[in-house]
Chains A and B, each alone.
Chain A
């Protein structure tokens, strides 16, 4: 079984500040990990994903995430927040031959001017 925990349902940062959204996972097989972003009343868009290889993954819009197996974490960061980053962010895990995605409950990011 797989599960995802996103710490903090709501994160608020100032424009230009560091963005850090936390994700911890549980998986009995080597995981594939994903971050998606959702703008209000829209579908989800992939930001980045980790499959194998380099543990630091770069995505779109300046976001990156680091896979840390020892900590079972896949936190999402961006050095400098922009107003356009305000959205809800979802971490998800799948693994092995199981292509089903298990999502966390999401973190709403607010960016203050």
Chain B
């Protein structure tokens, strides 16, 4: 089955630690995205990538970093510089079609800072 996988489903981090969230897709999509979801806030874009070896900051990139070395993979690192990292993180992918493309979402990773 084609789809997007995110791991782990739950992640606990101590303050001051960096953690990396995994996102893999086998849909052959060019574009990939990371969103952060907080209760009552909707989804906010962290980073996006339209093509391998290229990515752009979204609306709330501070304290996060990404890489896009392979088409299938778009890992997100939450660094110690992120002041309030506890949230639900969603990865998505799409085939760009001038704004009308459908983004397909993974099941999410819930990060909790202890």
User: Which residues does A use to contact B, with CB under 8 Å?
Assistant: 9, 32, 34, 36, 41-46, 49, 51, 90, 94-101, 103-106
Contacts and interface: CB of A to CB of B under 8 A. Distances in A.
Nearest to B103: A101
Contacts of A44: 43, 90, 92, 105
A43 B105 contact: yes
Contact of A97 (B4, B98, B104): B98
Contacts, number: 61
A90 B92 CA distance: 15
Contact of A98 (B44, B99, B102, B108): B99
Nearest to B101: A99
B96 A45 contact: no
B107 A97 contact: no
21 contacts: A43-B4, A43-B92, A43-B107, A44-B43, A44-B90, A45-B105, A49-B102, A51-B100, A94-B99, A95-B99, A96-B98, A98-B99, A99-B31, A99-B99, A100-B48, A101-B43, A103-B42, A103-B44, A104-B42, A105-B40, A105-B41
Q: Which 4 A-B pairs have the closest CB atoms?
A: A43-B105, A105-B42, A103-B42, A51-B100
Interface residues of B, number: 29
A99 B93 CA distance: 12
Contact of A43 (B41, B48, B108): B108
B45 interface: yes
A105 B105 CA distance: 17
Contacts of B106: 43
Contacts of B68: none
A9 B99 contact: no
